Amino acid sequence: MLELYGQQVSSRLLLGTALYPSPAIMAEAIKASGADIVTVSLRRETSGGKTGGQFWSLIQSLGVRVLPNTAGCHSIKEAVTTARMAREVFGTNWIKLEVIGNHDTLQPDVFGLVDAAKILAAEGFEVFPYTTDDLVVAGRLVDAGCKVLMPWCAPIGSARGPQNPDALRSLRGHFPDVPLIVDAGIGRPSHAATVMELGYDAVLLNTAVAKAGDPVAMAAAFGKAVRAGRQAFGAGLLEPRDMAVPSTPVIGMAAFS
């Protein structure tokens, strides 16, 4: 079973809670996905604290573990302060650490990310860093105290799927004992299955489910794809070959001429 910072996790699919057509559909999608970890955020509250309260009650009613994020933070200070506030509200040391470095690609500022991870790890946070697929950055994050890594496979919300499988494979090979979760860029269940077949421990996604024509059905499809990919990885995949290899026995062929 997957273990993240000492917590056993039954599902290898982590789901975001944003962009759904309604809170009810979000709740149904989470149930259909089988996810037991969902990501949440902190935002300015209006109307006397009631909007956030309603959302939080709904999430709590689902019996899932929450992974608060620092989405939208562009500086170390913003990300660290948001993390501290999230710990107080959500009562968890877990934090999905995002330090965004570019408005267009939403790619992480990996320098700020490493520094913020050091600060938070020293304060007892259990950091889930949203990072690129860069091997050296991954090493710095591990040195900073991260015991889980969350590389993107494509830009957030792009639905492009794995853009650089070789880099993902390299990360897996270099960090065999660190849980690796692909976070961002997954567009369809086959993308999720692909990264699970590479030996990734889990997948975190949001938009591909929330913006699907039928988010509940898509959540179920992703749940199956993640399980299938994991099972296939464990079963030992056949490597690609250059030439055809017949599957039907060639011995015992009838002679008609």
Partner 1 sequence: MKLTVNGESHEVAAGTLAALLAELDYEGGWLATALNGEVVPARERDGCVLAEGDRIEILAPMKGG
Residue 161 CA: distances (Å) to CA of 96, 149, 155, 176, 189: 21, 18, 9, 22, 10
Question: Which range of residues in 4-12, 51-59, 234-242, 243-251 is near partner 1 by CB under 8 A?
Answer: 51-59
- For residue 50, the minimal CB distance to partner 1 (Å) is 8
- For residue 96, the minimal CB distance to partner 1 (Å) is 8
b/e map 3-33, b = 16+ CB within 10 Å: ebbeeebebbbbbbbeebeeeebbbbbbebb
Q: Which of 1, 22, 49, 63 binds partner 1 (CB under 8 A)?
A: 49
- Tally of residues, the chain: 257
Interaction between residue 27 and partner 1 (CB under 8 A):
no
Query: Catalytic: which of 31, 77, 96, 118?
Result: 96
Q: How far apart are the C-alpha atoms of 206 and 161, rounded to whole Å? A: 13
Contacts by 42-48, CB closer than 8 A, 24 or more apart:
42/68, 42/82, 42/85, 42/86, 42/89
Assess whether 96 carries a catalytic annotation. Answer: yes
Interaction between residue 131 and partner 1 (CB under 8 A):
no
Interaction between residue 123 and partner 1 (CB under 8 A):
no
Interaction between residue 146 and partner 1 (CB under 8 A):
no
Residue 169 CA: distances (Å) to CA of 174, 175, 235: 9, 10, 17
Q: Which of 53, 111, 122, 234 binds partner 1 (CB under 8 A)?
A: 53
Restricted to residues 81-100, the positions that interact with partner 1 (CB under 8 A) are 81, 84-86, 88-90
Enumerate binding residues for partner 1 (CB under 8 A).
16-20, 26, 39-46, 48-53, 55-56, 59, 68-69, 71, 77, 81, 84-86, 88-90, 156, 206-207
